[in-house]
Amino acid sequence: MHSAGAMQALHALMKSRTSQGSIAWILSLLTFPYVAVPMYCFFGSDRFAGYVRARRARVQNLAEKAQDVIDAMKAYEIRDDNPLMESAVTLGGLPHLKGNSLKLYTDGVETFDALFSEIAKAQRYILINYYIFKNDTVGDAMQQALVRKAREGVMVLFLFDEIGSNKLPRAFLREMREAGVVFHHFGTNRFWWSRLQYNFRNHRKIVVCDGDVAFIGGLNVADEYLGSHPKFGYWRDTHMKICGPAVLAVQLVFIEDWFWACGEVPDLIYTTKAAGKQNLLILPTGPADLLDSWQLFVVAACNHARERLWIASPYFVPDGGVISALQSAALRGVDVRILIPDCSDNRLVNFATYSYYQQIMDAGVSVYRYTEGFLHQKVLLSDDHACVGTGNLDHRSFRLNFEIAGFTNDEEFVSEVYAVLKADFSTSYQAGPQDYAGKPWYFRAACRGAKLLSPLL
């Protein structure tokens, strides 16, 4: 076992994409090989190799449909010299599109009401992709809504992450299958060796109805988003509804994920029309990208900011590049604020977050802790640009999770996001360096230990 640990330590040295991850794995593999070797088999890979191959196979299998989407979006493509938007276009591989109608949701009940309304109106197909889908009150209602549409003859394709939704009962899924809902779990469907890639997760939340309406954002399908969590109570999150050409971009992201899960390309609508006057770019990121796309986007947003950089995330465990970008923005006078929950659902991540206080606060970065419940939203505001999606400020979103976001410089939408975040800050308190430095040594030691383990979280 020690020989296996040494061999895997060499692999981690050569293949890990960050020095922190490489050091953490090497130390673990050489010191505790009986524990670390099996863990490295499941969690050590840094690329979702099967998905990369499936994506490249689009030359043969998805080329026609992808080209249909690209052709349909060309008439609405915006070409400008906005450097931040150009970076997002390059990182996500999708165009910046005009002709959309956008609606922001900050309440779970309102979000699910809108979702169920659009699902009920669907006539041709419904595409569903969730990281967490529970068989509780909301999940049962969603299941029955999908079952009804399938029995009406509407094509329903349901994709869920096998880790995030691992508690879905077989009877729950069997009822859906018997009604005509086609479902797959994302991750281990196609190749035996992909079962060693549990570390990669599809963290996206997507609903598309008839190619006309799409929903993306932070809300999963679970009762806690209605404010009924027994520990946290109110669950603060943000979602968005999209109508117009950008729906096709969301649909294309779903198709790529669906193709990985089952090797099929569904027959969908690949034409579009304007639904409003707002612009939007869909930014999909994940471990199949050649670059760490979400991390690079966050850095670009930090570097672009001149007046304001506000970021809300439930998990703040950034890498050195993001820390430096935040510090740089604050040092040049930008109002940099990080909004995190005061009560976290992950104790290890919460400890790790404290360990960053001193280095970012010394540069002028402000940290606010939300006190009205659990803050789960993933929102970024960089001057006159706003982003709403699924990506957190942690190693997992930067390098391991498949994420999706909507990014825009539409004045009306950005103003809405600004107002929402301003209200969130009003129900938060500003943390200070003493919240870490003034704690007992064993608390600070626990925080430093959690930070050391953060690449493995």
Give me the active site residues, please. 203, 205, 210, 376, 378, 383
Percentage helix, strand, coil for the chain under 3-state DSSP, each rounded to 5: 45, 20, 30
Supply 130's token pair: 């969730």
The CA distance from 99 to 419, in Å, is 24
How would you label 167-181 residue by residue, b for 16+ Cβ within 10 Å and e otherwise?
ebeeeebeebeebbb
CA 131 – CA 137 distance, rounded (Å): 17
| DSSP letter string, 124-184 | SEEEEEES-B-SSHHHHHHHHHHHHHHHTT-EEEEEEETTTTTT--HHHHHHHHHHT-EEE
Measured CA to CA, the distance from residue 220 to residue 209 in angstroms comes to 17
190 CB neighbour count, 10 Å cutoff: 17
| Rounded Cα gap, residues 61 and 54, in angstroms | 9
Tell me the backbone φ, ψ of residue 370, rounded to 5 degrees: -75, 130
Pairwise CA distance, residues 146 & 407, whole Å: 29
Structure tokens at 113: 């009401």
95 three-class SS: coil
Which residues, listed in sequence order, are joined to residue 202 by a DSSP beta bridge? 402
